[in-house]
Chain A
Amino acid sequence: MTLALNGEEIGKKLAEAFPAAVVSSDKLNVLVDSKHLQPVAEYLKNTSGLEFDYLTFVTATDYLDYLEIVYRLVSLKNNHSLILKTRCHTRDNPVVPTVVNTWRAAYYQEREIFDLLGIRFEGHPDMRRLLLWEGFQGHPLRRDYL
């Protein structure tokens, strides 16, 4: 069984390493401040005992008050998983740092989020629309699109 790690314990561990990074954590997931996303990602990948070397999905949800980005991390070595989240509180031109340099799996998925939800990933090597054509107006997966 892939063990879903307790978010609270990971949250405590992260708070020791990066005091300002963790916004909240509960049993299922850890919510981090997007400013600290890149160092947190590197830490989760390279710390022994965690070793999240495999990123499955990255997606985002529009909750109207904020946009939430969800990462599901898996460690193939230890067979455990973690849900990592971050939020942006602005709707016009939201920006989040990219995790492509840590997990290349995010390459197309971040482009897709930019395309469909309009979140720009800072530092992504090729931030263009993926599925829709250039010149398309709006971001269809936002809840206020239609």
Chain B
Amino acid sequence: MPIKTEPFYLNIGPQHPSTHGVFRLRVALDGEVVVGVEPIIGYLHRGIEKLAETRTYTQTIPFTDRLDYLSSMTNNLAYCLAVEKLGGLKVPERAEYIRVIFSEIMRISSHMMAVGFFLNDLGAMMTPVLYMWREREKIMDMFEMVCGQRLLYNYMRIGGVSQNLPDDFMPAVKKFLAEMPKYIDEYDQLLAQNEILLARSKGVGILSKDTAIGIGASGPVLRASGVKWDIRKMDPYSIYERFDFEVPTGDTGDCYDRYWVRMLEIRQSVRILEQAIAQIPEKGAVCADVPQFFRPPRGEAYGYLEGPKGNIGFYIVSDGSIAPYRLHIYPPTLINITALSDMVIGWKVADLIIIFGSIDVVLGEIDR
């Protein structure tokens, strides 16, 4: 008869490098094996939904930067899409292209951080991250060029973008796109068939297709489980229907698939960028004529898009005044960790760290 012992409870976080922010995991352990896990969140809750109720529609855009601060551009865009849907606004052609260009650059940047820190969690301390940062630095420079900021851009506006592209932007992005495929090949050469990476992540933390759909997972987490669902293809927003790209999917939904889907998505983003750079109109307005105190008609709208971490959305209720009556932010990473216990139970503590890392969470978005 096996001897039954009490589980040992271990708190990982809120201050711990592997939690990617202020996040606490209360883990029940039997020896070194995880038997239960409970995420405890809210350490970074700033009440953005409440703050938005007392600010104008434009004043809320900077708050959206501070949700998922590694993909501020797409957060800005999702919010603007929701307000535009509510107000029935039309965005100028050139602004649409600029939006797509920055969304895809942002996706590359966010995926690089995700992959870099995933390898960091695996124990490849800082080296892969620094390789990824080498290219991310160029992306940051491009953002700085266009809006003066490197992390929190506040660039998108209701009806377009805040300012036109500077003259030196196009040469910089063309140079970046010419170099990028070589760098991705280099990462794949270093990482894709790396024996340690394969041994640690293949078959670890499997999220089945049914569970992924059931919990409402989105983004690379959903696609790694074999579901071909990308908002850019299934419900195209902005001008995504004009571009030719593929939606990569995984087979098993393990940690390796989540890593690999992100690497493939970086290649697809480069493809979209090349097409957008070739098609963008030379001249034209970059923002529709929107009054400073924009009053959308009464009603409600849900604007959403395929962000780097999943399907981020904003649900807005308008009462016809200058401020939203209710703003709800749909956070993809909070939804993606719903099935964390299914993925980690039975694995060891070291695996828990990489399974959590492979989901790619940002606490600014979970806690809002």
Shortest Cβ gap from A1 to chain B (Å) = 6
Residues on A with C-beta less than 8 A from B234 are 1-2, 79
Residues on A with C-beta less than 8 A from B368 are 131
Instruction: State whether B302 touches A140 (Cβ < 8 A).
Output: no
User: Which of B47, B50, B214 touches A104 (beta carbons < 8 Å)?
Assistant: B214
Instruction: State whether A54 touches B41 (Cβ < 8 A).
Output: no
The A/B interface has a contact count, at CB < 8 Å, of 73
Shortest Cβ gap from A127 to chain B (Å) = 15
Instruction: State whether B50 touches A140 (Cβ < 8 A).
Output: yes
Shortest Cβ gap from B215 to chain A (Å) = 5
Given contacts A54-B216, A57-B313, A61-B317, contact A105 B229 (CB under 8 A): no
Residues on B with C-beta less than 8 A from A129 are 42
Which residues of chain B from 232 to 261 have a CB within 8 Å of any chain A CB? Answer: 234-236
Alpha-carbon distance between A79 and B47 when the two chains are bound, in angstroms: 33
Alpha-carbon distance between A53 and B368 when the two chains are bound, in angstroms: 27
Q: Is A31 an interface residue (CB 8 A)?
A: no
Instruction: State whether A56 touches B45 (Cβ < 8 A).
Output: no
Alpha-carbon distance between A130 and B338 when the two chains are bound, in angstroms: 13
User: Which of A1, A61, A141 touches B50 (beta carbons < 8 Å)?
Assistant: A141
Alpha-carbon distance between A1 and B216 when the two chains are bound, in angstroms: 19
Residues on B with C-beta less than 8 A from A79 are 234-235
Size band of the B side of the interface? 20 to 34
Shortest Cβ gap from A142 to chain B (Å) = 10
Instruction: State whether B216 touches A55 (Cβ < 8 A).
Output: yes
Given contacts A57-B330, A59-B328, A105-B335, contact A76 B236 (CB under 8 A): no
Using CB atoms, name the residue of chain A closest to B326: A61
Alpha-carbon distance between A55 and B47 when the two chains are bound, in angstroms: 24
Q: Is A43 an interface residue (CB 8 A)?
A: no
Alpha-carbon distance between A140 and B51 when the two chains are bound, in angstroms: 11
Q: Is B322 an interface residue (CB 8 A)?
A: no
Residues on B with C-beta less than 8 A from A53 are 213-214
Shortest Cβ gap from A4 to chain B (Å) = 10
Interface string of B177-213 (1 = CB under 8 A from A): 0000000000000000000000000000000000101
Residues on B with C-beta less than 8 A from A61 are 317, 325-326
Residues on B with C-beta less than 8 A from A104 are 211, 214-216, 338-339
Using CB atoms, name the residue of chain A closest to B315: A59
Alpha-carbon distance between A134 and B315 when the two chains are bound, in angstroms: 27
Residues on A with C-beta less than 8 A from B325 are 61
Instruction: State whether B42 touches A105 (Cβ < 8 A).
Output: no
Given contacts A56-B311, A57-B328, A141-B49, contact A1 B214 (CB under 8 A): no
Instruction: State whether B328 touches A130 (Cβ < 8 A).
Output: no
Instruction: State whether A54 touches B328 (Cβ < 8 A).
Output: no
Size band of the A side of the interface? 20 to 34
Using CB atoms, name the residue of chain A closest to B47: A140
Shortest Cβ gap from A128 to chain B (Å) = 10
Q: Is B67 an interface residue (CB 8 A)?
A: no
Most buried by A among B214, B229, B304: B214
Q: Is B65 an interface residue (CB 8 A)?
A: no
Alpha-carbon distance between A75 and B42 when the two chains are bound, in angstroms: 31
Which residues of chain A from 118 to 145 have a CB within 8 Å of any chain B CB? Answer: 129-133, 140-141, 145
User: Which of A2, A76, A131, A145 touches B41 (beta carbons < 8 Å)?
Assistant: A131
Given contacts A104-B215, A141-B49, contact A131 B315 (CB under 8 A): no
Q: Is B360 an interface residue (CB 8 A)?
A: no
Given contacts A57-B328, A61-B326, A108-B338, contact A1 B213 (CB under 8 A): no
Shortest Cβ gap from B239 to chain A (Å) = 14
Instruction: State whether A103 touches B227 (Cβ < 8 A).
Output: no
Alpha-carbon distance between A105 and B368 when the two chains are bound, in angstroms: 18
Shortest Cβ gap from A37 to chain B (Å) = 18
Using CB atoms, name the residue of chain A closest to B227: A76
Using CB atoms, name the residue of chain A closest to B211: A104
28 CB contacts below 8 A, A to B, read A54-B213, A54-B216, A57-B315, A57-B328, A59-B315, A61-B325, A61-B326, A72-B302, A103-B214, A104-B211, A104-B214, A104-B215, A104-B216, A104-B339, A105-B215, A105-B335, A107-B215, A107-B338, A108-B334, A108-B338, A116-B49, A129-B42, A131-B41, A131-B45, A133-B42, A140-B47, A140-B50, A141-B49
Known: A108-B335, A146-B50. 17 other contacts (CB 8 A): A53-B213, A54-B213, A56-B304, A61-B325, A62-B326, A76-B227, A104-B215, A104-B216, A104-B338, A105-B215, A105-B338, A129-B42, A130-B41, A131-B41, A140-B47, A141-B49, A141-B50
